[in-house]
Structure 1
């Protein structure tokens, strides 16, 4: 066998604290309540979709392709010599010769309308300046001279 029939997949998100659901063939196979976190999954020839969500942010997804583990080729060559390929057949049937991306990083974007963007040309209104002047201790504000 290459490295067993299960594998840990770790998920980090920016910002942290997202909830992530793991789906294989459209069916839930597990979840992470709050990122960063990890989930142990059964290896399979089927890909996994990881969907992450957090209040105030757009959902983000990662398609985790089930590919052959790097050690499979060497293991098969040795296995053919020692067991006539029997253990490689078992590994393949159990999905142990497949491997997923073990570290996944996703960035969640703020939902539209929840992020205040300030342009470089934005200036405080005269009301903002007057409010600040009222709240400042007496004598702490000095006029700025224009050049």
Structure 2
């Protein structure tokens, strides 16, 4: 069979399709900035029981591989309770590059591997003191933290809805934000219940 440029192009396209294409369009890793209030903590990022990155001390930015699995961020600092938060992975949808270079096969591989997913680019964790001088200080600290967490969730949901163009996609994003916010409030309430008072 005579040499054909169209056959060569077809083979090249098939090769790209089989390898997946998210690396061409969005990259297979991303940066995540971890902050704590106050700064100076050591934070370990774990996914499926394996450490993927360490920030020591905060604030700091690290590179993590994209995945469809969540990352748990665990932070510790002297004088504060250990605290944690979850970075949920969000599906980014089909990109132009996936269609042009990877076709349906490339998209399927990227979606299955998590390469088309992305984590939030920044996360802030509130560090809770080991103890408080009195009940009033403790209660004020936690109630203020809960109020801020709920306000952030409401603001994020409002922003999503204001930019909504796809009802199903918006519902998923709203659910993700609300679940994350509820988890943060639940953790704060748990820490409130176990916080020590010096007196």
Q: TM-score normalized by structure 2?
A: 0.51
Give unpaired runs (5+ residues) of structure 1.
120-147
DSSP 3-state at the match of 1:16: coil
Matched, 1:50 2:73: yes
Deviation at 1:52, TM superposition (A): 0.6
Give unpaired runs (5+ residues) of structure 2.
1-21, 137-199
Deviation at 1:116, TM superposition (A): 3.0
Which residue in the other structure is 1:130 paired with?
Answer: none
Deviation at 1:46, TM superposition (A): 1.1
In terms of fraction of residues, the more helix-rich structure is 2
Find the aligned partners of 1:68 and 1:20 in 2 and give their Cα distance: 25
Residue of 91, 109, 120 corresponding to 1:68? 91
Contact 1:10 1:36 in 2 (8 A): yes
CA deviations on 1:62-102 (whole Å, 9 max, x unpaired) are: 11111112xx23x27971x7653233134224422011111
Find the aligned partners of 1:78 and 1:7 in 2 and give their Cα distance: 18
Q: In the superposition, relative to structure 1, how do residues 82 and 39 fare at CA in structure 2: closer, same or farther (>3 Å)?
A: closer
Find the aligned partners of 2:56 and 2:121 in 1 and give their Cα distance: 18
- Structure whose alpha-carbon radius of gyration is higher: 1
Question: Structure 1 segments of 4 or more deviating over 4 A?
Answer: none
Matched, 1:88 2:107: yes
CA RMSD, aligned part only?
2.3
Find the aligned partners of 1:62 and 1:49 in 2 and give their Cα distance: 6
Q: Number of matched residues?
A: 113
Contact 1:23 1:48 in 2 (8 A): yes
In terms of fraction of residues, the more strand-rich structure is 1
Which residue in the other structure is 1:24 paired with?
Answer: 47
Greater RCO (CA < 8 Å, at least 6 residues apart)? 1
